[in-house]
Amino acid sequence: MLDLAWEKGTPVLVAATPRTLAAPRKAGRWMGRFALEVTEGPALLERVRFNFPLIADPPPTRADYKQPPSFENGLTTRVRVVFPGLARGSRFALVDRATGRRWALPWPIDRELARTALVPLEP
């Protein structure tokens, strides 16, 4: 289980707590602007999508489109994401699917982690 925060445009891993469930279950499958992804080389092993509260997709970039108000730059919000335990994987990343930005997360998560600043990955 990961507690993530969005603090004025910067993602932060607030806490990570490994949990063992009584019985295996599938990861949730839904759409979201953000995703947690585990990869091994070029292969995607697992992806869990989610949204941070109050962060919307960026508006269209048409010249005639007026910008709606945005909370994203000054917003601090949190979300809890349940991510399945995997024995494989070489890279764990938070992905902003709307902008393509990526941040590295510690992997494997085999112990409790406290507040960790996420490191941006090169595109």
- For the segment 67-103, what is each residue's pLDDT rounded down to a tens digit? 666 666 678 889 999 888 888 899 999 999 988 999 9
Q: Residue 26: inside a domain, yes or no?
A: no
Q: Residues 26-42: what's their mean pLDDT?
A: 87
Domain containing 101 equals: 2-19+31-55+77-120
Q: Residue 81: inside a domain, yes or no?
A: yes
Alpha carbon 42 to chain centroid, angstroms: 19
Q: Residue 93: inside a domain, yes or no?
A: yes
With 0.85 as the threshold, say if the pTM is over it.
no
Angle at 11 between CA 10 and CA 13, to 5 degrees: 140
- For the segment 54-69, what is each residue's pLDDT rounded down to a tens digit? 776 666 666 666 666 6
Q: Residue 86: inside a domain, yes or no?
A: yes
Q: Residues 15-44: what's their mean pLDDT?
A: 87
Burial of 97 (0-12, 13-18, 19+ CB in 10 A): middle
Q: Residue 64: inside a domain, yes or no?
A: no
pLDDT at residue 82 in the model: 87
* Strand ranges for 8-66 from DSSP E: 10-16, 34-40, 43-50
Which tokens go with 58? 């960026």
Q: How many domains would you assign to the chain?
A: 1
| Mean pLDDT estimate for the chain | 85
Q: Residue 70: inside a domain, yes or no?
A: no
pLDDT at residue 64 in the model: 64
